[in-house]
Amino acid sequence: MLDHPIFLKSVRFIRRELGSINLDHLHQIVLERMIHTSGDFSVSSLLRFSPDAFQLGLRALKAGSVIIADTSMATVAIKPMSERTIHTPVHNVLDWAPKQTCTEQTRSAFGMQNIWKEFEPRFSENDAPLVVIGSAPTALEALLDLIEAGHHPPSLIIGMPVGFIGVENSKKRLMNSHIPFIVLEGTRGGAALAASVVNALMREALN
């Protein structure tokens, strides 16, 4: 059984509390998952996304796109759902990062640069990776730098780094780009919330 009865009861409660808000189906299931994960209905007012972002993410997962996450926490939050649904490979950029750095650049940024350059020859426009950023704005900035330099963009970026230094600027830069995005506006975010978005899309891909 994919869903525990307690989860289903929680979803029914969330739907009752949200009331009739007439959302697109994918928007609805992603929002429900985010509220369930955070225990906070206010995330609905902070959710931002580009046109067709949910549909593009779902399409990419169905086409076999891999998922690239910025931290071990996000990776661990995604892998169990992947194993229960469509068995999408999930990669952690830190596995491509040096053990320590001698510059101001973070390990997450180094890892994003390295994994993207390694994976880029393997994917096409239809199956480009989904990128999940739940912690490190520097990883998001590094990917945006690569794309601006002419590298292939991902199918979707779920941009939900959390914190105060560089977080809001990285989200604004993503939202001003041509890349499909799902963003939690402001300083809020985190691995669990970012993972909840892709987990909702994987569940839908299974259906």
Active site residue 27: no
Q: What sign results for the dihedral spanned by CA atoms 135, 138, 139, 144?
A: positive
Question: How far are the Cα atoms of 75, 126, 207 from residue 134, in angstroms, in the given order?
Answer: 10, 24, 26
Distance from C-alpha of 200 to C-alpha of 194, rounded to nearest angstrom: 10
Catalytic residue among 27, 36, 91, 152: 36
pLDDT in tens, 150-195: 999 999 999 999 999 999 999 999 999 999 999 999 999 999 999 9
Question: How far are the Cα atoms of 1, 38, 71, 102 from residue 143, in angstroms, in the given order?
Answer: 37, 27, 14, 20
What residue segments make up the domains of the chain, in order of their start?
A: 46-206
Query: Architecture of 46-206 per CATH?
Result: 3-Layer(aba) Sandwich (3.40)
Distance from C-alpha of 201 to C-alpha of 207, rounded to nearest angstrom: 10
pLDDT in tens, 19-60: 888 899 999 999 999 999 999 999 999 999 999 999 999 999
Classify burial at 143, counting beta carbons within 10 Å of its beta carbon; exposed 0-12, middle 13-18, buried 19 or more.
buried
- pTM of the prediction? 0.95
